Structure 1
Amino acid sequence: MLKKTSLVTATALIAGAGAAAAQDSCDWTPDRAVTYIVPWGAGGGTDANSRKLASMLEEKWGQPFNVVNRTGGNGVTGHSAIARADPDGYTVGSVTVEINTMHWVGLTDLTYEDVTPLALVDIVPASVLVADDSQFDSLSGLLDHARENPGDLTASGTSQGGIWHLALAGMLNAEGLEPDAIRWIPSQGAAPALQELIAGGVDVATPALSEGKGLVEAGDARALAYMHSEPMEALPDVPLTAETLDSGWTLAAYITTSGPAGMPDNVACSYAQAIDEIIASDEWAEFKASRGAEVVSMSRDELSAYMAEKDETLGEVIEAVGLAQ
């Protein structure tokens, strides 16, 4: 599903998304400031995508879109703030793949059914990063060390049970290691985890490769693997787990713009239509290219189905690695 979604051309995706939004009733526009909630910390990939999109919505609609980072609770705080807001269009935010993981690990009862998906913003495969002065220069070497010295190494990238934790634990499990053979250190997102990696606070980070791209290009971090089946255009030499691991393990996250459940269709389709136009723009394409990421999109119906599918498949991973509550 990920390969099909992330690798089709931007033109085909945008055409599909536009079809659902092209309704005569899509005539809502905000007449006052909108709050755009980001459940993760400043500086990470979710924050960067959200701030760019919010700024372009602000320019398009002529009203402030105030980005607020509501971190805490391993993603629960920000996601709850989106889900529990009035569904009037004046509070939206970045609902991320953690909406499919938090309830499985017992953090909250909140699920994807508590939000109104408006637009897909990004699909981002995980990576395996180490600091440039790390003793490890290959994923096989890292895994061999973890196999022979379980618990010796630490890793970070997001909350306990979050998507980047599942990327690591799932990979270890798929390769026949205990899911905690590399110990997980929770963080409030990729940006603080990468800071810890460079500072020597953890041995490994497993965020989106796009989030670590700048550090890799600057020579501060080394990318041992990309958890995908096709290379990232900006870093084409990073080994693919689909090719280098016996299990062929891959995993990706996603970012959406979503509102609370019960958002009126006129408001929801107006957002979808506006974001479709932004995603089709040269400015958005240039922004994504600068991050080494592809332009992606889905219709609202496709996105709802995608989130439901992810909830089921990630639940299976969480149960397999022993994190289900």
Structure 2
Amino acid sequence: MPLLRRIRLAALPIALSVVLAACGAGGGAASDAPKSPCDTSDDFPSRPIELIVPWAAGGGTDSVARFIGTQLGQRLGVQVNVVNRTGGGGVVGHSAIATARPDGTTIGLATVEITMMHWQGLTDLTYEQLTPIGLVNSDPAGVTVRTEAQWTDVQQLLAEAKAQPGAMTASGTGRGGIWDLARAGMLLEAGLPADAIRWVPSEGAAPALQELVAGGINVSTASLVENHTMIESGRAKALAVMAEERLPNLPDVPTLREQGIDFTMAAWRGIAGPEGLPDDIVGELSCHLDGIVHSPEYEEFMGTAGFGIVWKNAQDFGAYLAAQDAEKGEIMRAAGLAA
């Protein structure tokens, strides 16, 4: 056999092992090949991973979890199984994440409700019983009204709420839900009572939007992502977004801050594990999540669904959780929504 061909054949196993390592091949397979930069734990993962979703299958949180689970499984080289654990307004699923064995084989997609449920008296569980791994999404609240409504900006809407307190109604979720807090926080920041615009509980953003266009309520404070279709079709109009900056897909909608109200509010999702998850496992998972969130595939998936992409690593996500919890408690107490 020619010498050059023998050299090429001998190099094939080495090249293959390097490729597998770079892709984050897991499953506990022993290898002397160079590791992926994300491989910080020698024996993780050794078996399939369970990714808990505290909400029902088919929803936005579920779809984000399934996409991330597939991508994470490919990078780790093990199966990542999404399991929906619903009930109690998110209590059941978040509790399942918190009480899992801290070995990395059970993680979950935590949502903004982890910073709200204990203030409502639904549970003693708080974010401190979770280990943050990475924030992967955030969708800000909005102020949406009927196309025929006379208001052209938020200040006009609030002026009417001040002149006729309690005459107008808003909806977007159940009582004390994230979009209810968006309404209350906006009003309080504007110097109005939290009930200047009354809240009408609903089963979610979609039925609330139907009520809006039918004239049953005056305002929806759900995310503009959820109201986007009606806004695009001209059946509703957005007066503001409760974000730091305008949304790329709705560049003509100003922020509340641009209209003199220094307030933001958003629903978010992030990967977390139980308290006590080892640092090396947290580091490996966070590293892989970083790669997923900054991939063209994730950008395309989230863009198609209309979800916002926001990334925070484990440390920054932990600080964010603490700030979010404090903010939610302050608003809920001021609005009479805390237990």
Instruction: Output the TM-score relative to the length of structure 1.
Output: 0.80
Aligned to 2:92: 77
Deviations 1:233-279 (A, max 9, x none): 1100012210113x332223321111222334444333222212211
1:63-102 aligned within 5 A: 63-68=79-84, 70=86, 72-102=87-117
Shift of the 196–54 alpha-carbon distance from structure 1 to 2, 3 Å rule, reads: farther
Q: Does structure 2 conserve the Cα–Cα contact (< 8 Å) formed by 1:233 and 1:292?
A: no
Q: 1:116 aligns with which of 131, 138, 141?
A: 131
Once residues 36 and 129 of structure 1 are traced to their aligned partners in structure 2, the CA distance between those partners, rounded to angstroms, is 32
- How many residue pairs get matched? 302
Range with bigger deviation, 271-280 or 154-163: 154-163
Shift of 1:307: 0.9
1:267-282 aligned within 5 A: 267-282=281-296
- SS for the counterpart of 1:317 is helix
Q: 2:234 aligns with which of 219, 222, 227?
A: 219
Once residues 195 and 275 of structure 1 are traced to their aligned partners in structure 2, the CA distance between those partners, rounded to angstroms, is 36
1:1-325 aligned within 5 A: 22=38, 24-25=40-41, 28-29=44-45, 31-32=47-48, 34-39=50-55, 42-44=58-60, 46-60=61-75, 61-68=77-84, 70=86, 72-132=87-147, 134=149, 136-187=151-202, 189-194=204-209, 196-198=211-213, 202-245=217-260, 247-291=261-305, 294-325=308-339
Give 2:92's aligned amino acid.
T
Identity %: 45
Deviations 1:36-63 (A, max 9, x none): 313367434x344333323323444452
Once residues 196 and 120 of structure 2 are traced to their aligned partners in structure 1, the CA distance between those partners, rounded to angstroms, is 19
Once residues 209 and 83 of structure 2 are traced to their aligned partners in structure 1, the CA distance between those partners, rounded to angstroms, is 22
Deviations 1:62-83 (A, max 9, x none): 525225261x433323322322
Once residues 296 and 191 of structure 1 are traced to their aligned partners in structure 2, the CA distance between those partners, rounded to angstroms, is 24
Q: Does structure 2 conserve the Cα–Cα contact (< 8 Å) formed by 1:224 and 1:239?
A: yes
Q: Does structure 2 conserve the Cα–Cα contact (< 8 Å) formed by 1:88 and 1:264?
A: yes
Aligned to 1:3: none
- SS for the counterpart of 2:286 is helix
Once residues 49 and 211 of structure 2 are traced to their aligned partners in structure 1, the CA distance between those partners, rounded to angstroms, is 36
Once residues 216 and 30 of structure 1 are traced to their aligned partners in structure 2, the CA distance between those partners, rounded to angstroms, is 48
Give ranges in structure 1 of 5+ residues lacking alignment: 1-20
Once residues 321 and 114 of structure 2 are traced to their aligned partners in structure 1, the CA distance between those partners, rounded to angstroms, is 9
Give 2:257's aligned amino acid.
A
Shift of the 205–73 alpha-carbon distance from structure 1 to 2, 3 Å rule, reads: farther
Give ranges in structure 2 of 5+ residues lacking alignment: 1-36
Once residues 131 and 69 of structure 1 are traced to their aligned partners in structure 2, the CA distance between those partners, rounded to angstroms, is 36
Q: Does structure 2 conserve the Cα–Cα contact (< 8 Å) formed by 1:102 and 1:162?
A: no
Instruction: Output the TM-score relative to the length of structure 2.
Output: 0.77
Shift of 1:172: 0.9
Once residues 131 and 226 of structure 1 are traced to their aligned partners in structure 2, the CA distance between those partners, rounded to angstroms, is 16
- SS for the counterpart of 1:234 is coil
Once residues 125 and 206 of structure 2 are traced to their aligned partners in structure 1, the CA distance between those partners, rounded to angstroms, is 25
Q: Does structure 1 conserve the Cα–Cα contact (< 8 Å) formed by 2:138 and 2:266?
A: yes
Shift of 1:306: 1.6
Give 1:298's aligned amino acid.
K
- SS for the counterpart of 1:306 is helix
- SS for the counterpart of 2:300 is helix
Deviations 1:185-210 (A, max 9, x none): 33455455445545655432212223
Shift of 1:99: 1.5
